Every structure is written in structure tokens, then in C-alpha cells.
Amino acid sequence: MIYVLLIFWITSAILAIQARKLIRIIVYLAIFSTISAVCFFMFGAPDVAMAEVAVSSFSTVFMIVCFEKYFTLVTDVSPDAPKDLKFRYKLSKILPPVVFTLILAGLFIYFIPEGTVNTYLKDLYLERFRFDVGGENAVTSIYLGFRVYDTLFEALMLLISVVGVAHMSCRSEHEISGENFSGVTKSDSVDVYTIRIICPAMLIFGMYLVLNGHVSAGGGFQGGIAIASFFICRYLIYNVYDVRYGKIMSFEKMTFAAIALLASLFIFLGFYVQFPQIRTAYLISMNMLIAMKVSFGFIIIFYRYIAFERR
Amino acid sequence: MMEIVGNIIIGIGLVFMAFGVLGLYKFKDFYLRLLVLAKIDTVGAITFMVGIIIRHGFSFFSLKVFLIMVLFLILNPLTAHIIARTAYLSIEGITQDQDDGRGGR
Amino acid sequence: MQVPVFWILLAFMFLYLIRAIQGPTIWDRLLAMSLISVKVIVLIIAIASFYNRGYLLDYALLYSLFGFISVIFIAFFILDRTRGKK
């Protein structure tokens, strides 16, 4: 059954690659991310699957708007060129990568390492995460305990990308204040009424994901995106841009500082070994801080792209 | 006993979904095909979930499935409504989807 | 009971995927995409029920919420493009 899902996955990926029109690429990309999330959790990576579901629905929108703004898709083959030339052109484009890939695949198949794979680190983590870090979810204890450097670096990456998006968009905040961005995306009353009903469900579900991150699947990132989607639905309801932009920006920087401070206090200064009774509090507060940071970052990126980049 | 009843209801839900697939290929118009998402698939999924609730009896698991069912009942027809409305507003966009091999939007 | 349900759902997904490939309009593809996400939710609930894994139901909730938002945005975006085309 899992192989059939993999075939679907590859098929949708090929569809998304070979489509020429942007609107088709979007739909195929949505199908691809839907199927890929199922594949992730069938292969036993539930947290990754949750992050994929959460990111795919937003990343598609962001990529679309970004491509529309900065980049138009043009092929360099004129349509009325002779067929022979077109075929040879295509062949000269396709053949070298195919040959290169075949050679690489042959090499990798030929030099398969013999014997069992060394899983020393995985066994160590799975054996000791309850005693060293705490919690029931091994993924959470890895990214908040054993590999906390990675978490800090990812938070820094998100901060840098948010700052970059904010500084690269061209219109100033003064220019768009009080403007109405209804345009085409004007919702009618049925949409607005139903979104108002399901908005609190999103907020409560995001909080549930954050607070239960150390017990079951979920965590800061996934819950943060669910909370951000609550504020994005707010845009769909009111169709106005009235977010205090600079305040959210400074809040995000402060949250990053808090994450760095908490992690360095607990992990590097050794509070973890001294006070084993507050480990759960550490995990929950770390997850909450990450969720706040992620949701602030996504709100900033969304409103920048939707409101500031609109022509 | 309850498990057999639940399995039968799950089978009925699958039959509803199969009717939906049949309709997706039999109808010639887009707005007719939208019926599959709006009504038939919603009914099929809800019947499936009712079967699973009956299989599991009264527990926390079935409460969560019930929550998903309520969300489904709200969201699925709304999705169909949004697709229909946007398709109706872009009436010339419906016919212009031929791939001319040139790219662009 | 378990294996036939999975195979039937996968067959439905395959038929929807064919509709997404050959659909004459872009809205047919969007329709096929939302139908596939419905089938994915049902598949997750079936797996969670048949193998007794309650935590998988969170995915179904997340799917139903986020799939809805993504369909809204994609539909509005396609409407924007096909209108501005002329």
C-alpha cells in the first residue's frame, strides 16, 4: 500500500514540474504536498508530516505571490521553430543531466556499504531521552535537549528571513495605511460567517498542539503556524490592513532573545542537572516561546506579501 | 456485534464515495461535477465516520472523530461554495485552459 | 476489513488524480485536489481506528483546517489571474 502512495507522490511531483502555467503548478503543488504529508506519516515521521501540512498551505501562497512579483516564466524556445531543431534542443538539454544521474546512481548502487548500518546515536537517544531531558515525545526532547543548537540556529534563520522580507518590499508603511485591500478577494457573507465560526477552533487547536508538544506529536512550530492562521483568517474576514507592524517586529526579536536566554540558562549553565523537577516547565515554556516567534514571523511575512506587494 | 454494524456502515460510506467517482466521470459540465464535492463526498465521509464511531463505542476517540465530523459538515460545502463562486466570477477563465506550450501565467 | 478499505480509498485517489491530469478546466483540477484531501482525511481516520492510534486524529483535524485555508487562497489567486488576463 505504501508503494502505491509513493507512486502517487512521484506522479504528482512530475505533474508539478512539467506544467507550464503558473495556476496549474499551484494546484499540482497542493496535491503534491497533500500526498507527501501522508507518505511522511506512513514512514513514521509524524512531526514532520504535521509541519508539512502546516507549511504547505502557506508556502504555496507565499511562493505564488513572490513569483508573480519578481519573476515571469518565459521559455527560450520560440513556438514556430522547426520541429527537428526543437527536438534536438530538448535532447541537448535533457541528455547531460540524465547521463550524469545514471552514472551517479550506478556508483551509489555499486558501492553499497556492507554490513549493518551504524545506529549508535539513534539507540543512545531513544534509550536515554526520558532520563536526560524528560517528556514523552523523543523528537521534542531531541530538538530542545540534545540538539538545542539546531533550534537556536533555525530561530535565527527565521528572524533573518523575516527581516529580509520586511526590508526588500518596496512600499512604505505610511503609503498603505487606511487603504482597503478588498480587490478581487472580497469575501461574501457565507464565507465570512463560517470563517468566524471556525476561527476559535484554530486558535484553541494551536494552543493544544503547543501545550501537548512534549507528550504527543506537535510542538512549537506546528502550533505556531496554527495560531498564525487564526490571524490570517482575520484578513479574510475584514479585508483591511491594520496590523501594528513595528510592534510585532520588535516582539519577534524579543522572543528570539528570550529563546536564546532560556536555552543558554538551562542547557549551557547546567540548570538541567541541578533542578530535575522543572524540566517539564522548561519544555513547555520553550515550546510556547517558539510558537510565539513562529506565529509573529508568519504574520509579518503574510501581511507583507498580501498587502505591501499588491499592485 | 457493534463492530459488524460499524463495518457495514463504513461499507455504505465507501459505496457513496464510489457514486461520487462515477459522477465525476459521467457529468460533462463543471458545475455538475461540483455536486460530487458538495453533497456526495460529504455524505460519504460522514457515513464513514459514523461507522467508525459505532465501531469504537463511547470513548475519547469517538469524541474526537465527532469533532472532525462537525468540522467536515461545515467546511466541505463551504469549499465547494468558494470554488463555484470563483469559477462563476471568472467565466472566461473556465474555457481558457489550453496549454499552448509557451508558458506564462 | 482493514486492507480492502485502504485499497478502495487508494483507488479513489488514483481516479481523482486522473481527473486532475485530464480535467478540461483549472477548476476541475482544484476540485480534484480538494477531493484528494478529503480522501486523505478519511484514510488517516481509518488508519487511526484500525491500528488503535488515537494521536493520529490530530492530523485529520489539522488537515481539515489547513486544507480549507489553502483552497480559499488558491481559488482567489486563480480568480485574480484569470480575470486580469483578458
**Which B residues 69-98 touch C at CB under 8 Å?**
71-72, 75-76, 78-80, 82-83, 86-87, 89-90, 92-97
Q: What's the pLDDT at A257?
A: 92
In a domain, B105, yes or no: no
**CA distance readout (Å), B71 to A11, A201, B78:** 30, 9, 11
Chain C environment of A216 (Cβ under 8 Å): 55, 58
Does any CB of chain C come closer than 8 Å to the CB of residue B46? Answer: no
Phi, psi of A116 (to 5 degrees): -80, 155
Question: Between chain B and chain C, how many beta carbons pairs sit less than 8 Å apart?
Answer: 123
For chain C, the chains sharing at least 3 beta-carbon pairs closer than 8 angstroms are: A, B
Q: Do B103 and A79 touch (CB under 8 A)?
A: no
Q: Are A33 and A56 in contact (CB under 8 A)?
A: yes
User: What are the tens digits of pLDDT across the range C7-16?
Assistant: 999 999 999 9
pLDDT values of chain A reduced to their tens digit, one per residue, 311 residues? 778 888 888 888 888 888 877 778 888 888 888 888 888 888 888 888 888 887 877 777 666 666 665 544 444 455 555 566 677 777 887 888 899 989 988 887 777 666 677 778 888 888 888 877 777 888 888 888 888 888 899 899 989 988 888 777 655 555 555 555 444 455 567 878 888 888 888 899 889 889 888 888 778 888 898 898 888 887 777 766 667 777 888 898 999 999 989 888 887 777 777 777 788 888 889 899 999 999 998 888 887 776 666 54
Instruction: Mutate one of C69, C78, C79, C85 to test the A interface: name it (highest A CB count within 10 A).
Output: C69
Per-residue pLDDT at B101 exceeds 50:
no
Per-residue pLDDT at B55 exceeds 70:
yes
Residues A232, A237, A240, A244: is their CA dihedral positive or negative? Answer: negative
What residues contact residue A187 under an 8 Å CB cut-off, 6+ apart?
Answer: A195, A236, A237, A239
In the block, cell 485530464 appears at C22
> Which among A21, A194, A201 is the nearest to B78, CB-wise?
A194
Per-residue pLDDT at B27 exceeds 80:
yes
Please tell me the distance from the alpha carbon of residue B101 to that of residue A79, in angstroms, as a whole number.
8
ipTM, interface predicted TM-score of the complex: 0.92
**CA distance readout (Å), A302 to A161, B11, B51, C76:** 13, 43, 40, 15
Q: What's the pLDDT at A188?
A: 66
Q: What's the pLDDT at B12?
A: 92
In a domain, B98, yes or no: no
**CA distance readout (Å), B73 to B43, B66, B79:** 9, 10, 11
A110 grid coordinates: 555499486
Please tell me the distance from the alpha carbon of residue C46 to that of residue C41, in angstroms, as a whole number.
9
Per-residue pLDDT at B81 exceeds 80:
yes
| Confidence label for B30 from pLDDT (cuts 50, 70 and 90) | confident
Chain A environment of C2 (Cβ under 8 Å): none
Q: Are A21 and B104 in contact (CB under 8 A)?
A: yes
Q: Please give the single-letter amino acid code of residue A160.
A: I
Question: Between chain A and chain C, how many beta carbons pairs sit less than 8 Å apart?
Answer: 120
Interface of C with B (CB under 8 A): 1, 5, 8-9, 12, 15-16, 19, 24-28, 30-31, 34-35, 38-39, 41-42, 45-46, 48-49, 54, 57, 60-61, 64-65, 68, 71-72, 75-76, 78-79, 81-83, 85
pLDDT values of chain C reduced to their tens digit, one per residue, 86 residues? 778 888 999 999 999 999 888 878 888 888 998 999 999 899 989 988 888 888 888 888 888 888 888 888 888 777 777 765 44
Q: What is the pTM of this model?
A: 0.82
Q: Do A22 and B78 touch (CB under 8 A)?
A: no
Q: Do B104 and A73 touch (CB under 8 A)?
A: yes
In a domain, B62, yes or no: yes
Range of the domain at B60: 2-92
Please tell me the distance from the alpha carbon of residue A29 to that of residue C20, in angstroms, as a whole number.
12
Phi, psi of C71 (to 5 degrees): -65, -40
**CA distance readout (Å), A4 to A33, C16, C61:** 16, 14, 24
For chain B, what is the domain count?
1
Q: Domain locations in chain A? A: 1-78, 139-311
In a domain, B64, yes or no: yes
